[in-house]
Structures are given as structure tokens and as C-alpha cells.
């Protein structure tokens, strides 16, 4: 099931990003800081009472054009309403109720979405009385918090999590492969959906943003059951929606969480742009299997080296998604389309691959014998034991004498050796270093 999404909405300078950072804690620091995948602080992950959720900082959404400040805040609120399960509406205790607050409050109230009213900058008991004027917004009980001091964050998350959807069993069985088509507007995701299904199930238009919603379509091919998730869409027309690039990332978030495999669709005619990296980066961070699908290959001027050159461009732009295969297709002519589903099945299988512990230890022992870890201030890393603890993605724990001696370059070396031995094509691998204890 997809993780619930919390969106933080409010006018500028009320402290949205500070609260965002408080909620996601150290998780942003834990996310791999590797070149080749663009990062921003628009979205993150949090956990409360053993329930994971995604959180969106709408302060990271830039509205193009010469909109007034009020229009910009309103547009960001509308984007959040589209995607969020729960909305945290942030206001400023020091500033009091403003016209912009009232405008956004009315918009949120009409959305019928659950709203938690957070009054920031309540830094001491003397300010506690200042929250009561915010009852006038008609949202409900205000919760006094302080982003700078970390006050009231638990109460805020308690209130927000009370509105999370029920954590129901997954709609589809384990044998079903769920894959999501993700990518920026107008790269041909809906056309690809129709081409794969062989029928016009999704409205296709050359105008960016014509798909209204994420659409799940179950189908079966050669005895294998699939669910294809088309994430093309924007539910509303309008220049704000079409020009807000990061909205494509927001749209992809829910679908990626429910998918086993993310098909990152790239326009073969236009090439790779920065937004492609934002969208691919979320699939990578979510630990999903991934395939780069280069669409519109029929209209690309090419020779016998063009495909190889484009593949190299993908490798250069997405340095640490080298595990993801590249497939060139044309939704319009169905060129090479028959190659796509077999690759989806292959990477889904690799995503679920579990390696026996003794085989994993043999490979890592040989890797260490061939290339021992370097010393650090006279100390040398010693690997005692290796075991795989999870799949989707494959997650491996390395028990060592001193975890701080594990350098990222040596970890990457071990990952490469593991991939060479067992494959894991199309899926990220998570390596965790832990100190060996007597219990282990």
C-alpha cells in the first residue's frame, strides 16, 4: 500500500521548511549523496508510531510567471490538495492571522481534506495564548509548535496521523508485477500505456498534462499478471500546473510507492533534462527496481552508433543508477515494444532475489581476500559476517568490527562484487554496516 502523504502548506516565512526538516529528521542525510541524481528538499520520508509516510514541503514548489504572492501561495495549496492525504496548514504566531492565511484557509476548507492547523513560533509559554486567535480561520483546534526549538512536533504528528487512511491489505497478490510509468509531461507515458495494453484505455494528447489521474490497469500476458500504473497526469488544466515542473515528482510519488518496477520514460527526441533526474531520483531513493525507457525512438535521426551514444548519456547523467537497463521503444509505431515486458519481468525477479547466506559470505570473503580494506589511523576494517535481511530492494547487513571504518568507496567495491556474482540487474542494493555483537 502507498504510504500516506502529508503536505505542509502556508504563506512564505512561516517556517514550513524548518518543520519539514524536523519531521524527516536525519533521513535526508541518510539518503545516498551520490552524483548523477539531482536532489532537492521538496519531499522526504517520516515515521510515527511505526507508520511510515511521505511529506511534501510546498515551499519547494516554485510557481513560474509573474503571479502575485497570494496567487503563488494559493497555487501551491492547490497542488498539495491534489496529492495529500493530510494537510498541515502552517501559520505564524508572531504575525497573527493575515489575509493570505484566510484565503488559503477557505481553499483548504472547501477541499474536504483532513487539515491540521499548526501555529509556528510558539517558542515559550508566554506565546501560548497567541494561538487562540487562529480559531477564527474555521479550521479547528490550533496546535502550538516551535520549529526552531522542536516544541510540539509530536502533538502535530499525532494529530496528522489520526487522519491517515487505513493500512489495508494490498489490493493485488504477490504474484502480480506492478509497474509505474513515470516521467515529465509529454514524454509519451499515456501512449506507451495504450501501446502495451493494445487498446485506447488512456486519453492521449500532444498537450502536456492531459491525463487527469493515476490509472491502474490490470492485464495478463503469457501467463504473467501485471498492473500498469500510468502516472501521466494532472487533474486540472492551467498554466500553473503545466509550468510547475516539480508537480511531476509529486504526481509520481504515490504510484512509485505502490509499484515494484518504475519505468522512467525519457523523450528520445528531446533528450535528458534536469527534471528527468528529479523523477528518477525518487524511484532510486524509494528502493524500486528501475528501467530507463527511451520513447519516440522512431523520430530520432540515427545511425548505427546513436543507441550506444544515448545509452552512454544516460549512464553519464545517472551515474549511480548504472544497475537500470535501457530499452528503446516507440509507442507510436510499437517499435521494439515487445522487448519491454520481458525486461520488466526480469528486473522484478531480481528485485525479489534472495541469496543464501553461505553464498553471500563466500563472495564477500573472496572480495576481501583479493582487495583487503585499507587501514585508517592504524586500524583495519574486519568483516565478520554478511547476511541478506530483506528483498524489494535486496538489503544486506555487513557485520564488522568498527562500522566507522567502512569507507563509501570500499562499500561500492563490495556492492560491485555482489552484483557481479548474483546479478541484481535493475534493482538498487541497500548495504548496512553494523557492529558485530555477541548476540550476532
Residue 120 known to bind ligand: yes
* Location of C-alpha cell 518496477: 261
Residue 361 known to bind ligand: no
Residue 57 known to bind ligand: yes
Residue 60 known to bind ligand: yes
Residue 113 known to bind ligand: no
Residue 342 known to bind ligand: no
Residue 304 known to bind ligand: no
Residue 61 known to bind ligand: yes
Residue 225 known to bind ligand: no
Measured between alpha carbons, how far is residue 394 from residues 99, 170, 356, 422, 432 in Å? 50, 20, 12, 11, 11
Residue 165 known to bind ligand: no
Residue 276 known to bind ligand: no
Residue 127 known to bind ligand: no
Residue 378 known to bind ligand: no
Residue 428 known to bind ligand: no
Residue 439 known to bind ligand: no
Residue 183 known to bind ligand: yes
Residue 262 known to bind ligand: no
Residue 188 known to bind ligand: yes
Residue 232 known to bind ligand: yes
Residue 325 known to bind ligand: no
Residue 25 known to bind ligand: no
Of the candidates 346, 400, 407, the residue with the CA atom closest to the CA atom of residue 376:
407
Query: Residues 229, 255: contact at Cβ < 8 Å?
Result: yes
Residue 3 known to bind ligand: no
Residue 122 known to bind ligand: yes
Residue 306 known to bind ligand: no
Of the candidates 236, 190, 184, 237, the residue with the CA atom closest to the CA atom of residue 217:
190
Task: Name the helix (H) or strand (E) containing 52.
Answer: strand 51-57
Residue 423 known to bind ligand: no
Residue 50 known to bind ligand: no
Residue 372 known to bind ligand: no
Whole-angstrom distance, CA of residue 359 vs CA of residue 394: 15
Residue 187 known to bind ligand: yes
Residue 231 known to bind ligand: yes
DSSP 208-236: TT---S-EEEEEEETTEEEEEEE----SS
* Location of C-alpha cell 548495504: 431
Residue 198 known to bind ligand: no
Measured between alpha carbons, how far is residue 54 from residues 23, 47, 199, 202 in Å? 10, 9, 34, 28
Residue 66 known to bind ligand: no
DSSP 156-204: HHHHHHTTSPP-PPPSS-TTPEEEEEE-STTSSHHHHHHHHHTS--S--
Q: Measured in whole angstroms, how far is the alpha carbon of residue 30 from the centre of its chain?
A: 14
Task: Name the helix (H) or strand (E) containing 126.
Answer: none
Residue 11 known to bind ligand: yes
Known binding site for GTP: residues? 10-17, 57-61, 120-123, 183-190, 230-234, 295-298
- List, as residue ranges, the binding site: 10-17, 57-61, 120-123, 183-190, 230-234, 295-298
Amino acid at each position: 500500500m502507498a504510504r500516506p502523504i502529508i503536505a505542509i502548506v502556508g504563506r512564505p516565512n512561516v517556517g514550513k521548511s524548518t518543520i519539514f526538516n524536523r519531521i524527516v529528521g536525519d533521513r535526508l542525510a541518510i539518503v545516498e549523496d551520490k552524483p548523477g541524481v539531482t536532489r532537492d528538499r521538496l519531499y522526504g520520508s517520516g515515521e510515527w508510531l511505526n507508520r511510515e509516510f511521505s511529506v511534501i514541503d510546498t515551499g519547494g514548489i516554485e510557481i513560474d510567471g509573474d503571479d502575485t504572492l497570494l496567487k503563488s501561495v494559493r497555487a501551491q495549496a492547490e497542488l498539495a490538495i491534489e496529492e495529500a492525504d493530510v494537510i498541515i496548514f502552517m501559520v505564524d504566531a508572531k504575525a497573527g492571522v493575515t489575509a493570505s492565511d484566510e484565503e488559503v484557509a477557505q481553499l483548504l476548507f472547501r477541499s474536504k481534506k483532513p487539515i491540521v492547523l499548526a501555529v509556528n513560533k510558539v517558542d515559550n509559554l508566554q506565546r501560548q495564548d497567541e494561538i487562540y486567535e487562529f480559531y477564527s480561520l474555521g479550521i479547528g483546534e490550533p496546535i502550538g509548535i516551535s520549529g526552531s526549538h522542536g516544541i510540539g512536533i509530536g502533538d502535530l504528528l499525532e494529530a496528522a496521523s489520526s487522519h491517515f487512511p487505513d493500512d489495508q491489505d494490498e489490493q493485488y497478490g504477490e504474484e502480480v508485477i506492478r509497474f509505474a510509468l513515470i516521467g515529465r509531461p509529454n514524454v509519451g507515458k499515456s501512449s506507451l500505456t495504450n501501446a502495451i495494453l493494445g487498446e485506447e484505455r488512456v486519453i492521449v494528447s500532444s498537450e502536456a498534462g492531459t491525463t487527469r489521474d493515476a490509472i491502474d490497469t490490470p492485464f495478463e500476458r503469457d501467463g504473467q499478471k501485471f498492473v500498469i500504473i500510468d502516472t501521466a497526469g494532472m487533474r486540472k488544466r492551467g498554466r500553473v500546473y503545466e509550468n510547475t515542473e516539480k508537480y511531476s515528482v509529486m504526481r509520481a510519488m504515490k504510484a512509485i510507492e505502490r509499484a515494484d518496477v518504475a519505468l522512467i520514460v525519457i523523450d528520445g527526441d528531446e533528450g535528458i533534462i534536469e527534471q528527468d533526474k528529479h523523477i528518477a531520483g525518487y524511484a532510486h531513493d524509494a528502493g524500486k527496481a528501475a528501467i530507463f525507457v527511451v520513447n519516440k525512438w522512431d523520430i530520432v535521426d540515427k545511425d548505427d552508433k546513436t543507441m550506444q551514444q544515448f545509452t552512454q548519456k544516460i549512464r553519464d547523467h545517472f551515474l549511480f543508477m548504472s544497475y537500470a537497463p535501457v530499452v528503446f521503444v516507440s509507442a507510436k509505431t510499437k517499435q521494439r515494444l515487445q522487448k519491454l515486458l520481458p525486461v520488466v519481468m526480469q528486473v522484478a525477479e531480481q528485485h525479489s532475489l534472495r541469496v543464501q547466506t553461505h553464498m553471500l559470505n563466500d563472495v564477500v570473503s573472496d572480495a576481501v581476500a583479493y582487495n583487503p580494506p585499507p587501514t585508517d589511523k592504524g586500524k583495519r576494517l574486519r568483516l565478520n559476517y554478511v547476511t541478506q535481511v530483506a528483498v524489494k530492494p535486496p538489503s544486506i547487513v555487513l557485520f564488522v568490527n568498527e562500522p566507522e571504518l567502512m569507507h563509501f568507496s570500499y562499500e561500492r567495491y563490495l556492492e560491485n562484487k555482489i552484483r557481479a556474482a548474483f546479478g541484481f540487474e535493475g534493482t538498487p542494493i541497500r548495504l548496512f554496516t553494523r557492529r558485530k555483537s555477541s548476540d550476532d
